[in-house]
Structure formats: structure tokens, C-alpha cells
Structure 1
Amino acid sequence: MINDTCIARLEQVGKRYGAIVALDGIDLEIHRGELLALLGPNGAGKSTSIGLLLGLHRADSGKVSLFGRDPQDIEARRRIGVMLQSAALPPTLKVGELISLTASYYPAPRSVAECADLAGVADLLGRRYADLSGGQQRRVQFAMALAGRPEILFLDEPTVGMDIVARQALWAAIRKAVAGGCAVVLTTHYLEEAEALADRVCVIAKGRVVSEGTVDALRAHVAVRRIRCVTTIAAETVAAWPEVVSAELVQGRLAIATAEAETVARRLLDNDATLCELEVQRAGLAEAFTEITRDTGATALSQEAA
């Protein structure tokens, strides 16, 4: 990554809340035009990291910068958009009024119509915010986050409460923002969401970065791959093969874990001419996360499909 693309940074940052160490010398960079997913169990330090970059907290040690400025500098704050996990918005205002009010805080905002179109809420502009479903409210909050033409979008659990159609529509809008050069910082408990969207993943545990890289790089921490097939070979027979970690029958299909998938697949085909529905899958981000955080004592995130 080219250094001059870095637009926000934590450098050896420490933060305590009384006796609790929230951040322990953390380093973090955010680059223009990338989506960075911050992953970690509750209490890992994700929210504190975001709060420091938003200027909501002050670091006890180290340096925090946003566009080369103090995060509390108004000129820096005008260049970001924020969608927090919970938002207390005036319930009686209509959606169009909320977006217009948010846009009024910025020097060169998007129009209400453009924000609504990008977030997929054009049909909701005349409705009161309080009358919307939870998923619809999240989409409105996303429209508000886009109002100031942000160069960095901070999205905290953005798809909570959304159905699969709305979630995928928001993913498309996020990808469009990134393609336009906007940096996106995503915190999510949906590992498949990070897997689908992230250019780079940063795993935080106990206030420190324990792993960082592309999704593929993190997957490489797990050597075991999964094979599924329909076969007449008994699970007990396959489980005894030296290359196989485990084998069991699951809903009529043989599920195999192995670090030598090609060898096992060939052996299956050699031993069963009727074998069918053969699938080989590498480790997902959920397995990689579990492996990476195993030594930290951290608890794995939700593996719910996103």
C-alpha cells in the first residue's frame, strides 16, 4: 500500500478506562479507496479505536490523526461520514427532513435526492422516521452518512436489522462508495459480511492488532479444507486415511476435513466410481478468525450468514 494514500492513523495508541486497558499500543492505518473491516470480540478495542478517530475520546498515549489533523478539528470532521450502531434521531421528522438537516452541516453536500437514491430510500422521503422498520431506519442512517460527500465512512454494524435483500443492496452501495475513492471502515459481527466486502481485515483482540491482511491472507492461517460428497464409502473408512483429520456423514453427504484436499479427492474418486456432488472448500473467514484468536483467549464472532 502506498504511504500517501493513508488518510487516518493510530500510532502506538494506548487508552485506559480506570483499571481496564482498552487499547495497548495499537497501530492502525486507513487508506483512501479501500474497505477496512475491523473484527474482534466484544471488548477487543474496536469501538474505542473508532471513537478516537472520530474525536469522541482522547488517547492516553501515542498519536491519532485524521487527514493529518487532530480528529477534533472541524475541517477533518467535515470530511467523514458516520453510521453508528445506535442512533437517537427525532422520531417525528420525515426522512427527507432528516437528510436535509444532516446535509446542512456540510459546505458542499449531496442533494437529498442523491443521498436517498444511493441508499435506496427514495420511496421513504415523505414518511416519518418513527414509522419505519429497523432495517429501513438503518438505510436512512446510511443516506445521512453520505450527505457530506465523505472521504471516510465509518460504518458500525450497518446491516443489523436488515433482511437479505436490503443487506445486499447496502453492500452494493458501499462497494460503489469505495469504487469512487471513499475509504470505508466497517465493524461487523457478521463474518460473511466482512468476507464479501473487505479489501483488508484487521483482527483486534485485547486492545492489540493480532492479524492484518487480505481475506485470502487470513484464510491462509487455516490449512484444513472441507470436502463434501455423496459416496458409498463409509465415513469410518475415510476417517482412517492418514491425510484425513475427520470424516462424518451429515444429511446424507460425507463431510471431510483435510489439509491434503487434492490427494483425498483423488482417492475418493479412485475408490468410488459412483461418487457425485463433490465439493472442495477452503477455510472461511470464520475459521481463520477462530484460529487467529485462539491464543488470545478471545471469543469467536457470530458466524451468521450475512
Structure 2
Amino acid sequence: MTQRGQQRGQRGQRGSAVSFTGAVRTYGAVRAVDGVDLDIAPGETVALLGRNGAGKSTTIGLLLGLYEPDAGAVELFGAPPERSVRAGRVGAMLQDARPVPRVTVGELVTFVASRYPAPMPVARALELAGIAGLAGRRVDRLSGGQVQRVRFALALAGDPALLVLDEPTAALDVEARHAFWDSMRAYARRGHTVLFSTHYLEEADAHADRIVILDRGRIVADGTGEDLRRAAGGNLVGIDLAGRDPDSLALLPGVRSVDVQDGRALLRTDDSDATVIALAELGAIRGLEVTPASLDDSFLALTAAGPETLTESHDLEPR
């Protein structure tokens, strides 16, 4: 059985860690979250992607009980979010948290850990966050990257069953980003559930069991990185147009879309072999290049899709 199949089995046996059922959150005429259905099994690591304004922050706010849904329901471990948060089962690292003045890193993490019923040892939280050497430093005198790692330590302090990370590697340099993901994976391996949002698509591809893409407040895709690449068209075929009508290329076998730039056509195709054979029959393989679609390509294709395509791309793999 695959890892995702095992996780579905866990969900059936032990319930969901995170459950959204038709969740809606509006701001005036804007539906920031528009009927979201999402189920995350205990022990899964899930990445939440979307353009600015896609609804990621509101979704996280609903998950943490910071907002109430206008319709539908949100549950954590079978209970309302606020109950799970109060019980110490959730740790969160949010973007808008501000440094507390005149306290040291060690004092702050110790205080937060003391609010939880079964906290992680402070030394362990500092070590996982890569800031053991900063315990005696004042939080308000740290660099942006160091403050980000303090936020991670605070999220870990309660040893929560669910860890929610909003843009966790923002302000971190490359070395610190690698160290962060090493720590996050070590935490996840202990059976914890992790949900993180990020603008770094390669991070989602490398570190998440599933990737959920939000657009216009709705889930437009949910699957592995490979699932997403297939859903958006598995390969890209590029040719020099050489005066050829690009509209005719859209009718070729396997082709989903055609993009024209600087005299070249880029064909997104489900069947690159069939597409190339058809191009050869037309004598149109000048400057031929075939490449796999990247996750960036897939993300752009999925979030550029109109509402009519949402039901087609949402469920990339049966659950």
C-alpha cells in the first residue's frame, strides 16, 4: 500500500486531524473561502498553495478558530477548533506575530511552553528551531530570520499534535531554510500532522505528502506534485512557429493549450508522443523541444483556470 493509501486508512480508523465541510467565509461581497471541503489525516504533511488573495490566510484563520465560518463546518480532531486549541493540541506559526520587547528567547519559549498541558522540553524546542545559541538574547534585538526561527520554537513549544505554519521560511536564507525543513520533517516523523502554506513551490513538492491549491476561495487541486503536473498537462512541446497559424495547433492530439511568445509556440499536452507525431506529419517540428511540465507550470495553469474547470481538477486521486 502506498503512503497516501495508508494515510487514508488512518483517517478512516482514527478520524481526521483537520476537516472542512462546505466551509464559507465572506467579507461583504467577497467569498474569501467558498465552500471548501478538505480532509487531512493524522500524520499527514500538507502544503497549502495559492496566489495572493486566494484565501489561504482566511482558511488558516478558520482552522485555528480565529474566524467562524458563515456556512459549513471546521473541525480539528473531531472538535471545534477553539476546543482543540485550548486543549493544547495545536501549535501555529503565523506571519503577523510581533516580537515581544524586553524578554529573552529562552524566557519567551519557557513561558509559552508553560501554557500547555504536556509541553516539549524548552531545550528541545530551541534545538529543533536552530536557536539554542540565542536563548539569552532579547527577542526584539534579533534579525528577521532569527525572529522567524523563534516563532517556529513557539509553535513547537506545546508539542502539539497539529502544527500550522504560515509561510514558515519567509526571511530565512538558504542554509536556514534547509535546516528548518530538516527539523519539520523530524517533527512530522513522530506522527504529528503538519499544514504549511508557502510561496516556494519546490518546498511544497519536496516536503509535503499532498499539495492543496486554493484559488478564488475554492480548492482547485489536491494531490501530490506529480498528480498536479499530470492534471495540468504532463509535458510541454515547444516549436518555432515559422509563420504557422497557432490556432491550428490547439486541434492536435493531446494538446490542452497553446501559448505563443516571440515566434515560438508552447503546447501543453497530455500525450507528447501523439502531439510530436502529428507535428511531424505537418512538417512543423522546427526547433522542437519536449520537456516535463514543472510544478510552477502546473500551478499557473490550475490557478488560471476558470470556475468551470474547478470540478475537473479538484479530486486528482480518489480518497
Q: What TM-score do the two structures reach when normalised by structure 1? A: 0.79
Question: Contact 1:129/1:137 (CA < 8 Å) preserved in 2?
Answer: yes
Aligned amino acid, residue 84 of structure 1:
L
How many residues get paired?
A: 276
Identify which of 28, 49, 65 aligns with 2:75: 65
Identify which of 116, 119, 129 aligns with 2:129: 119
Identify which of 109, 115, 122 aligns with 2:119: 109
The equivalent of 2:317 in structure 1 is: none
Aligned amino acid, residue 182 of structure 1:
H
Q: What TM-score do the two structures reach when normalised by structure 2? A: 0.76
User: Counterparts of 1:75 and 1:261 in 2: how far apart (Å)?
Assistant: 49
Deviation at 1:246, TM superposition (A): 9.2
User: Counterparts of 1:62 and 1:209 in 2: how far apart (Å)?
Assistant: 15
Deviation at 1:130, TM superposition (A): 1.8
User: Counterparts of 1:77 and 1:216 in 2: how far apart (Å)?
Assistant: 37
More helix by share: 2
What CA deviation, in whole Å up to 9, does each residue of 1:151-183 have, x standing for no partner?
111100000011000001101111111111111
Change (3 A) 1:258 1:200: closer
Change (3 A) 1:199 1:5: farther
The equivalent of 2:103 in structure 1 is: 93
The equivalent of 1:220 in structure 2 is: 230
Alignment of 1:1-306 (within 5 A): 1-2=8-9, 3=12, 4-73=14-83, 77-223=87-233, 225=235, 259=269, 281-296=291-306
Change (3 A) 1:288 1:280: same
Question: Contact 1:135/1:161 (CA < 8 Å) preserved in 2?
Answer: yes
User: Counterparts of 1:198 and 1:217 in 2: how far apart (Å)?
Assistant: 13
| Secondary structure of the corresponding residue to residue 82 of structure 2 | coil
User: Counterparts of 1:215 and 1:189 in 2: how far apart (Å)?
Assistant: 14
User: Counterparts of 2:70 and 2:228 in 1: how far apart (Å)?
Assistant: 31
| Secondary structure of the corresponding residue to residue 36 of structure 1 | strand
| Secondary structure of the corresponding residue to residue 89 of structure 1 | coil
Change (3 A) 1:69 1:236: closer
The equivalent of 2:5 in structure 1 is: none
| Secondary structure of the corresponding residue to residue 127 of structure 1 | coil
Aligned amino acid, residue 80 of structure 1:
V
Instruction: List gaps (5 residues or longer) in structure 1.
Output: 229-233, 250-255, 265-278, 298-306
Question: Contact 1:39/1:202 (CA < 8 Å) preserved in 2?
Answer: yes
Aligned amino acid, residue 53 of structure 2:
G
User: Counterparts of 2:273 and 2:28 in 1: how far apart (Å)?
Assistant: 53
After the TM superposition, which parts of structure 1 deviate over 3 Å for at least 4 consecutive aligned residues? 74-77, 222-228, 234-237, 242-249, 256-264
| Secondary structure of the corresponding residue to residue 59 of structure 2 | helix
Deviation at 1:224, TM superposition (A): 5.0
| Secondary structure of the corresponding residue to residue 81 of structure 2 | coil
Aligned amino acid, residue 43 of structure 1:
G
Deviation at 1:64, TM superposition (A): 1.3
Change (3 A) 1:223 1:12: closer
| Secondary structure of the corresponding residue to residue 68 of structure 1 | coil
Question: Contact 1:151/1:183 (CA < 8 Å) preserved in 2?
Answer: yes
Question: Contact 1:70/1:76 (CA < 8 Å) preserved in 2?
Answer: no
| Secondary structure of the corresponding residue to residue 202 of structure 1 | strand
Q: Percent identity?
A: 44
User: Counterparts of 2:290 and 2:210 in 1: how far apart (Å)?
Assistant: 25
| Secondary structure of the corresponding residue to residue 6 of structure 1 | coil
Aligned amino acid, residue 284 of structure 1:
S
Instruction: List gaps (5 residues or longer) in structure 2.
Output: 1-7, 245-251, 277-288, 308-319
Change (3 A) 1:258 1:154: closer
Change (3 A) 1:220 1:258: closer
Aligned amino acid, residue 108 of structure 2:
L
